[in-house]
A and B are shown apart, each in its own frame.
Chain A
Amino acid sequence: QLHLQESGPGLVKPSETLSLTCSVSGESITSADSHWGWVRQPPGQGLEWIGSVAYSGYTYYSPSLKSRITISADASKNQFSLKVRSVTAADTAVYYCAREYSSAPAYWGQGTLVTVSS
């Protein structure tokens, strides 16, 4: 059974880099045609797609966040990661990792709240 779990600091200071990791069990992140993505949700607001990494290592990014984010994969650990640079309070959100099928986040992690504050 597929399981995804986010991990990383719950508090990040403004202007610093937010780093999260998603650990995957039940499927290899290099399985054919698989895509692994990140979605966030600020408190009380809607969902925002951040980006994804394909089984090949190719990455797809939200145009609005592209200049500040990096998504990468570590096949040896069956994990993929997110980095958001130069964070502000607007980056405060619950961050979810997900397995995408047909351009749809289908299996989600439980989410982790990241607060940007000094």
Chain B
Amino acid sequence: QSALTQPASVSGSPGQSITISCTGTGNDIGAYKYVSWYQQYPGRVPKLIIYEVNNRPSGVSNRFSGSKSGNTASLTISGLQAEDEADYYCSSHAKRGTDHLVFGGGTKVTVL
């Protein structure tokens, strides 16, 4: 059981926008700006696509955007493309006694 809760799957048609939610608690997402998102293709290494809630590393498409409200973070993919079909994970800094990171269980994005 993951510390952060994500929907198992989200789907959309090419060109549409989809949003993936990531729900935590006041000890992680609600307390820190350190929310990140990762994209992972089958058999490949995860890739950081969003850090500090809404920042994109160099080279990441601006079709990816992040936000946070309370204990829930969100990743929005705009102008959905076939290449966006992948697994997406959120993570957050957390503190329950000690500082650590927690991941969500992952969301499979399907492009219809």
Residues of chain A at the chain B interface (Cβ within 8 Å) = 37, 39, 46-49, 51-52, 60-63, 66, 96, 101-106, 108-111
Contacts and interface: CB of A to CB of B under 8 A. Distances in A.
Given A103-B32, A104-B51, A46 B99 contact: no
B57 A49 contact: no
14 contacts: A39-B103, A46-B89, A46-B103, A49-B101, A49-B102, A52-B101, A60-B98, A101-B51, A103-B34, A103-B36, A104-B34, A104-B36, A104-B51, A106-B48
A117 B42 CA distance: 24
Interface size class of B (residues with CB under 8 A): 20 to 34
A51 B106 contact: no
A60 B51 CA distance: 19
Interface of B: 2, 32, 34, 36, 38, 40, 45-48, 51-52, 57, 89, 91-93, 96-106
A92 B89 CA distance: 20
Contacts of B93: 103
B106 A63 contact: no
A103 B97 CA distance: 17
